[in-house]
Chain A
Amino acid sequence: MITITDQIHALKYVTDTLSAARRDQLPQVIPSLTNHLTLCSEILCSKAQNPQIAASASSLVHKLRTQISSLLQDKSSQGRWAAVVLVKVTIESLTQHQEGWEFLRTSTAWIRGMLAILGKPDPIPTKTMTMIALTRIFLLTHGQPSLTREVTTPHLASFITVCLSLITTKPPGQTGGIKDQSDAYFETALQCLIRLLPNHPAAFRPFNNQIRLLISPLVAPTPSDLKTSNDTRNIALSQRSSTLARHFHALLPFCAAKNGASEEWRKYVSTILKQIGQTADRAFRAVHESDANDLGEASEEPASQIDDDLMLIGWHGVGAGCERIRGLLLLLSAYLTTKGNMSYQVPIKAIYEMAERLLSVTSPQSPVLGTRTEGVNRQFTREERESLYMMLPHVHTAALEVLSTMISRMSLLSFGIAEDLLEQIGWMVQRSSPTTELRSIVYKVMDQIAGMIGTSITAQKSTSISIIIRMACKDLIPEAKESRVLNSNRNGNISKPDYNADSFTSNAAYSLRKAKTLQTYQKNALLFLSTALLRLPAPTLSSVRPEIDRVAILLQHEKLQLTSILNRQIGSRHQNANLIPFLAKSHDPLVEALIHRRLGAVVGQENDPDDDGIESEMNDLPVEPEVVVPSFNSDLASSFRDVSPPKMHKVHKPEDVEFVNSKRTAESIDLANEVTQIDEIDHINKKARLHQETENQTPYAEAVKNTTMSNVDSKPAETEAQPNTIAIEIDMLDSGEANSDSDDSFEIPEIVVDLDDEDSEEEGQG
């Protein structure tokens, strides 16, 4: 904390500098002054205890306030700019203290001064900052009725007026040839108004229509429409402005008269849904999809009908139609993302069926199913159809965006539609070649669905999920064909002449690929994979398991590795294809908890050393127990495992592990034998040593680990094969891969082989 005396010094410095500085020097001194001023928060709201100090402090505070007030009225624009900055800083430092609220009450003169600035021809930064500062003051008074009444209410209407006039396009000529600056203020003004509206719907009511007129061209713009003489503004093309406009649009129902907000909101949602339906009738007429008769002349481009409740301009052409649908869908999504203290009635059925309809229209060209001719409406031109297919991914993205929002709002109640939606998305993905944007949202929705109903999904219904898991894996490890370099190295000859010299320098290509940061769609893909891996029952995952494991290893993604280990199928052939050695290198505390689990007993309970001894610790490694017992993921699990300690010892006896004869190995064997006898405290150290051995990647450490982790006496054959534990893993993987349908899975053994080579080298050295 800064002492009061220091604060006085700082404040004195600020006021002195302010009075000494020339107007044109203000821009250069203000940044440092604001830093000083933020330190003075306590004396700014007169918190000083000592009367003598308080007197000097209050005179300084008074001086500062006078200076700010006079700067607000200043003739130079620099002065006014400085005043706005100082007002914001003062307000912010005041809000840190309870007493500061009183200060706001006296700030009405400042508010008037700032409103005046907005009316003056000040530079863009000044006005932008003024809007922000005013909005901040108005927001701060929210929740305090008397302050709101005194400070906000009298000035809000004029603030809205001036904001709207700033962003209204002035027709050329009226402004005297001066460049229209309304675009520059658009984002800030909208941001401010969006934040103020929910708190003061009544104040916005008179402006309802004006706002609607202003933002409706931006809500669902159709930039590819060349026929309509678009007088839309440049900002219409900016995604940000459109997003803001949509959110603002979604807030407008609040302005409805008493208790009408709920109905108004519903009315608009229904209108949007109706509008989407009508637009889709027209834009999708080239495919047999709807039964509507009035689809327009085949010779003409599809175009909008006249009646339009949303005050949108008409559109011409398939491209524009699809853009309109997309815009409307995003608007619907915005309607679902707003917040408000009123009861919303979300028409689930209507939204779901609309989205289902849009998702059902797919291109007949699909990489999975080949070319189909179903659903083509020959009445219309081929060109129209093709441009429709081109635009479809955009429409699908927006439709999934709406569904995603709806699912979040429905929470558990989306169980009813989740399975159906899952199949719908799987169907859609199979029948189209999704863009990255579309894949991104597909992963997101699938993540939501898998997180909700993944645990109880049945094998028959998991086909869609498997398709999307494969897609996600491909997205995360792009261009699987590059592996041919690895492939040829392994076979010892280059299978196919390649004229691109760069492709021989496989290292360069690989590092280039690695250096890339993950794109949004890839991040979503990873999230989806982790969720799917964690939630889906292991049997449903068996077909895609090698691909996911490959992603987990190549990306060195700890969470994915962890989830892969946690959810393994009992008794499956992949049981030993374990990622634990990869994960053991990580320093993540979660990994530590997984491999060296120690769960405390209930407080107050004395621990029985025999019960909580080392065997249970060893057994706790989350590898599957015997087939008859399902795997438990808690400490409890060890209790039910059918592994008796004596059998454990057998495995570790020297004769069984003769294959290694180095000194280090002998040590390790001792360790393994000791491990069963040591007490609680010693155990931790031993454990660390064991862990170290594992980290050294010696084959023996691997062996120890594998014997402890797998269920030894249930599979004696494997135990004998200890020398080649890793080789077994490869075999398992190989056999798994033979069954898998994917073309890419052959990479896995190679990776493991690499590791094996490394190990054998080490072994040779040892």
Chain B
Amino acid sequence: MEKIIPTQAPYAVCPREMLTSSILFSLYKPSVVPSNLPNKDIGIVSHIVEPVPKLGICYKKSSTNPNCLAVSATHIFVAQSDKAVVQVYDQERGTKEADVPFGERITSCCFVGFDDGGGVGVLVLGLKDGRLILWEISTGRQISTPPAHLEDVDCLAVDTTRNFLLSGSKDHNVHVWKLAELMSFAPESKAPYKTFSDHRAAITALAIGHSYLSGDFVLSASEDKTVLLWDYRNAMLLVTFLISSIPRCLVLDPADRAFYIGFEESVQFVDLNGVRSNATSEAVELGEKDKWKDEQSLTCFAISTDGTQLFTGHKNGQVFKRATPKGQPTLLYDAHLPVTNIVAPELRGFLHEQLPITRPSIVKPRPDMAVRNNGSMIPERYELNVVFTSMFSPSASNEDPGNDLFSTFDKLLEHPSFPGELLSTPLTDSISKSKTVEPDTAAAEELQRLRLENKSATSYINSLTAELERLQKTELARKQSKRLRRLKKIKLFEAMRKKAMGETNGEMDIEENLDVEDISSDTEDD
């Protein structure tokens, strides 16, 4: 048997029956850590927020810079601040699975995978030298782009369709990539699809909309004290928001209704419903409106799935929870080390949560994946390493009834008794058949005896029937002769009467007739 890997409960500590919301944050560990700090080993913290706030799994020995935490349905990826290594943690087991070295310091990372893909996907890494690396975590294939950026790639974002990848850099540019082109096996050069260069300083944050139609947009924050709202499919600026200080982070409401800008000392709420602009590209001065101050210097934040809570991480290690848009903060956790990233993963514990069909196994980047065989498009040992967590029936073709086949029988198995059509299948026909199938020896003897008995009885009955027939015949003969005699008598009397009345012509005839009838009655009796 293979080692059993639990396929459910991505968070082992969460009760599965309840809808659970949690956050995940990572810490930066300075080279010198005061020795009296509690839990100084902790690097990543999983914290449950709903239904009851409590500490989840803590992962040790990790230190991260901002934008260097990526979460998939099954794993956590953290690019380390001090070395060119990505640490991979298994969320179910709560353990470290791998240390994956890369050639260059990693300045940002982001996981790209479909929601129903169960954590199978690509880890995108932004490097210090302006390149991007895409690592297919369950095949080991590694795709590297040319250094399209001139400086560090500081932030990455991917749209809802997982088709467009955005990378923001210190070189003031945001590149838009087509993921399918990046991942294609065709030997084309990997180049950005569009470049957005309206910012005049380093990009600090990206927040992408949640629509999969062509109207989707992205917000980009820059050190030039602007937040730009633009259409990434056409790299076209739509709205400029002028802000008062340098933005650190951005987060967009889950329904794209508003966004939040995080500054060093405050958070600003911007309602997108309220934004009116008559001309495109016209700047909106946000000023100090809807800003709420923070005593602690803010480093990162995340918004809950329902958009009602904002989680803020601070330099002194505190994590606050506050109701949107401008609620009072409540302390959730104090890590005593700078909080660099907060992520709010998807909610868990829906009633009919569909299991993803696969679960990835981590395959470290393999050099042989880069080498192509002569003419062949896909590298020789390109294999998908996954656990098949659920069975699915792919048959949509008309002929193959596989889909019904299994679900029908499952219904049969789970039926409270047996379905009516099965209960009403007649037993009788097969019973008579089955009796002849394997006759009991005792029964057979009995049967033999009965048959013999039957035989004798039959012969007896036969004799009796013959007897009865004979008796019936004699009886009939007796009755008939009686009747005849009576008839003769009547005729005789009639003749006598006629004689007496003087009809004398037929006496001889009567005598003759009587004789004839006598003979015929005799023959009948025989």
Known interface pairs A30-B423, A437-B398, A630-B215; A412-B162 also in contact (CB < 8 Å): yes
Would you give the 0/1 interface string for A421-456, flagging 1 where the beta carbon is closer than 8 Å to chain B? 000000000000000110011001000000011111
Known interface pairs A437-B399, A630-B231, A631-B215; A404-B253 also in contact (CB < 8 Å): no
C-alpha gap A209/B327 in the complex (Å): 68
The answer to whether B393 and A337 have CB atoms under 8 Å apart is yes
Classify chain A's interface size.
35 or more
The B422-477 residues at the A interface (CB cut-off 8 A) are: 422-425, 427, 429-431, 433-434, 436-438
The answer to whether B386 and A243 have CB atoms under 8 Å apart is no
The A320-374 residues at the B interface (CB cut-off 8 A) are: 330, 333, 336-349, 352-353
The A562-618 residues at the B interface (CB cut-off 8 A) are: 566-567, 599-605, 608, 611-612
Q: Is the interface of A mostly helix, strand, loop or mixed?
A: helix
Which residues from A are CB-within-8-Å of B150? none
Which residues from A are CB-within-8-Å of B4? 341
Which residues from A are CB-within-8-Å of B273? 599, 601, 611-612, 635-636, 639
C-alpha gap A125/B430 in the complex (Å): 9
Would you give the 0/1 interface string for B211-244, flagging 1 where the beta carbon is closer than 8 Å to chain A? 1111111000000000000010110101100000
Closest-CB distance, A376 to chain B (whole angstroms) = 24
Contact among B3, B184, B215, B402 for A634, CB-based, below 8 A: B215
B345 within 8 A of A: no
Q: Which residue of the partner chain B has the closest CB to A89?
A: B417
C-alpha gap A135/B278 in the complex (Å): 70
Which residues from A are CB-within-8-Å of B430? 123-125
Would you give the 0/1 interface string for A105-136, flagging 1 where the beta carbon is closer than 8 Å to chain B? 00000000000000001111110110010011
The answer to whether A640 and B277 have CB atoms under 8 Å apart is yes
B358 within 8 A of A: yes
Q: Which residue of the partner chain B has the closest CB to A139?
A: B413
Known interface pairs A339-B391, A420-B377; A413-B416 also in contact (CB < 8 Å): no
The A10-45 residues at the B interface (CB cut-off 8 A) are: 27, 30-31, 34, 37-38
A537 within 8 A of B: yes
The answer to whether B416 and A92 have CB atoms under 8 Å apart is yes
The answer to whether B384 and A337 have CB atoms under 8 Å apart is no
Closest-CB distance, A438 to chain B (whole angstroms) = 8
Known interface pairs A243-B405, A520-B398, A637-B215; A419-B180 also in contact (CB < 8 Å): yes
The answer to whether A535 and B1 have CB atoms under 8 Å apart is no
B183 within 8 A of A: yes
Could you say which of A59-67, A256-264, A473-481, A756-764 contacts chain B?
A: A256-264
Which residues from B are CB-within-8-Å of A121? 434, 437-438
The answer to whether B212 and A419 have CB atoms under 8 Å apart is no
Which residues from A are CB-within-8-Å of B324? 602-604
Contact among B215, B387, B392 for A343, CB-based, below 8 A: B387
- From B138, B392, B417, name the one whose CB has the most chain A CB atoms within 10 angstroms: B417
A–B pairs, 8, beta carbons within 8 Å? A191-B409, A337-B393, A340-B387, A411-B116, A413-B121, A415-B180, A417-B185, A456-B161
Contact among B113, B163, B379, B431 for A411, CB-based, below 8 A: B113
Could you say which of B53-61, B81-89, B254-262, B492-500 contacts chain A?
A: B254-262
Closest-CB distance, A370 to chain B (whole angstroms) = 28
The answer to whether A630 and B427 have CB atoms under 8 Å apart is no
Would you give the 0/1 interface string for A166-196, flagging 1 where the beta carbon is closer than 8 Å to chain B? 0000000000001000000000000100010
B367 within 8 A of A: no
Closest-CB distance, B165 to chain A (whole angstroms) = 10
The answer to whether B2 and A404 have CB atoms under 8 Å apart is no
A7 within 8 A of B: no
Closest-CB distance, B181 to chain A (whole angstroms) = 7
C-alpha gap A535/B233 in the complex (Å): 13
The answer to whether B179 and A456 have CB atoms under 8 Å apart is yes
The answer to whether B212 and A125 have CB atoms under 8 Å apart is no
The answer to whether B214 and A537 have CB atoms under 8 Å apart is yes
Which residues from A are CB-within-8-Å of B114? 411-412, 452
B308 within 8 A of A: yes
Would you give the 0/1 interface string for A84-117, flagging 1 where the beta carbon is closer than 8 Å to chain B? 0100110011000000000000000000000000
Which residues from A are CB-within-8-Å of B350? none
Which residues from A are CB-within-8-Å of B422? 125, 128-129
The answer to whether B276 and A333 have CB atoms under 8 Å apart is no
The answer to whether B257 and A411 have CB atoms under 8 Å apart is no
Contact among B381, B387, B412 for A349, CB-based, below 8 A: B381
C-alpha gap A247/B400 in the complex (Å): 12
The answer to whether B358 and A411 have CB atoms under 8 Å apart is yes
A724 within 8 A of B: no
A721 within 8 A of B: no
Closest-CB distance, B525 to chain A (whole angstroms) = 54
The answer to whether A132 and B400 have CB atoms under 8 Å apart is no
Contact among B257, B402, B438 for A635, CB-based, below 8 A: B257
A410 within 8 A of B: yes
Would you give the 0/1 interface string for B380-406, flagging 1 where the beta carbon is closer than 8 Å to chain A? 111111111111111111111110011
Which residues from B are CB-within-8-Å of A628? 280
Known interface pairs A191-B409, A409-B386; A519-B398 also in contact (CB < 8 Å): yes
Closest-CB distance, B28 to chain A (whole angstroms) = 30
- From B136, B217, B377, B397, name the one whose CB has the most chain A CB atoms within 10 angstroms: B397
A532 within 8 A of B: no
Q: Which residue of the partner chain B has the closest CB to A333?
A: B394
Q: Would you list the 8 A-B pairs with minimal beta carbon distance, nearest first?
A: A411-B117, A123-B430, A342-B2, A456-B163, A632-B215, A633-B215, A346-B384, A34-B417
Which residues from B are CB-within-8-Å of A548? none
